[in-house]
Chain A
Amino acid sequence: MEVDTPPLVRQMVPMGQLVVCPVPAILIVHGLGSCVAVFLYDERHRVGGLAHALLPSGSRGERERTPGKYVPSAIEAMLRKFEDLGVAASEVVAKLAGGAAMFVSAAREQRQGIGERNVRAALRALEARGIPVLGSEVGGCCGRTVQARTADGILEVSSLRQPPRLI
């Protein structure tokens, strides 16, 4: 017998934004470069959230005005949404993607590329909250499309010249 299942929600997460979804959904970032995508997931409640953050840090005022733009405040904003849904930070796990250096010589001008700094900022913020990072596909110099599945916690990462990878 066929069971009617509701169509799966496919939700884009634009740059500087974050989405937390308590129903089965695919949260998507197309064409991720130096930005980092942070996927938080709670297996027990099947709640997932994805942030598409641009910068490793910002002033307090900026973090309050646009939390999704900065890696640490984006993670905190997602965790608040998890708490609103009855999920504690201690139940959440994380997966990461992005943080590439798209233009190699541009990255060389800085001591450390913005992508790498974004990844470090994410790892630091997650460690401070005791959230384990179960997998990541970060760094390098390729753009990535990221699909986070809130039904099973799988993060699918694809790029133009590599086969898709499930983490």
Chain B
Amino acid sequence: MLFCELDDRQVDALREVGNVGAGHAANALSQLIGRPVTLSVPRVEAVPFPRASTILGGPETEVAALYMKVYGDTRGNILVVFAPQDLATLAGQVLRAPISSIHTPNALERSAILEIGNIMAASYLNAISQMLQLSLIPSVPALAVDMVGAILEAPIVELSRVADSALVLQTEFREARQSFRGHFFLLPDPQSLDAMLDALARP
């Protein structure tokens, strides 16, 4: 399935998938920090690779990103992207104490940061696993704090073997008092998008 061939009904169905997944991810994050987390309406769009970094402020913008691969019946990539200071704030809320540095976190801070990715990806995938009756498992998260362009190359290279654009399910989430906000991205592999769409089409 090529992303450009998706019809409106399929895009709506994928948006609903994004909504359910992100709702659970935000809920899990909220429980982790004991504060409400709100969500934007998810966006579903096909983004040509050369344009991908414009979504996040241009290729040289510094961001902090958690990256996970998705294994199981549908494969893909998850990125959770923050302004570096925002991820530092969130990690501080998880630990109930400010962190020393987002660039050189100590072992405890690092595991708190990775746990944010873990919790969000696992609850997102759990929710859509149940919705679609598919098995979806996240990999161990990895952290990078660097230029957007360079960070996006990781999932794009995975997809680029078979495609020239990425289907992006994007949701923005924020802590109710605006102490941080972030972007959750699911980028399904083109081949396994069929599995998702088949599952969605089941009565």
Contact = CB atoms under 8 A, between A and B. Distances in A.
Contact of A15 (B49, B143, B151): B49
Max chain A Cβ within 10 angstroms of own Cβ: one of B49, B59, B150: B150
Contacts of B151: 31, 33, 102, 143
Contacts of A34: 150, 153-154, 157
A30 interface: yes
B150 A144 contact: yes
B157 A105 contact: no
Nearest to A108: B142
B11 to A, nearest CB: 25
Contact of A55 (B62, B148, B150, B157): B157
Nearest to A66: B164
B72 to A, nearest CB: 16
Given A15-B153, A17-B50, A30-B60, A103 B67 contact: yes
Interface string B129-163: 00000000001111110111111111011001100
Interface residues of B, number: 30
Interface in A43-94: 54-55, 58, 66, 69
A26 interface: no
Given A31-B60, A55-B161, A143 B147 contact: yes
A106 interface: yes
Interface residues of A, number: 31
Given A14-B50, A55-B161, A31 B147 contact: yes
A30 B59 contact: yes
Helix, strand, loop or mixed for chain A's interface? loop
B104 to A, nearest CB: 10
A118 to B, nearest CB: 9
B157 A160 contact: no
Max chain B Cβ within 10 angstroms of own Cβ: one of A54, A106, A159: A106
Contacts of A32: 149-150, 153
Contacts of B58: 30
Interface string A27-42: 0001111110000000
A31 B152 CA distance: 9
A160 B50 contact: no
Contacts of B146: 33, 102, 142-143, 159-160
A69 B162 CA distance: 11
A106 B146 CA distance: 16
A106 B154 contact: yes
B123 interface: no
A31 B157 contact: no
A103 B50 contact: no
Interface string B45-62: 000011001000011101
Given A32-B149, A106-B154, 15 more contacts: A14-B50, A15-B156, A31-B59, A31-B148, A33-B151, A34-B157, A54-B153, A54-B156, A54-B157, A55-B160, A55-B161, A102-B150, A103-B144, A145-B60, A159-B146
8 contacts: A30-B58, A31-B60, A31-B151, A102-B146, A102-B154, A105-B142, A106-B67, A106-B142
Top-7 shortest CB links A-B:
A31-B149, A143-B150, A33-B150, A31-B59, A14-B50, A33-B153, A103-B142
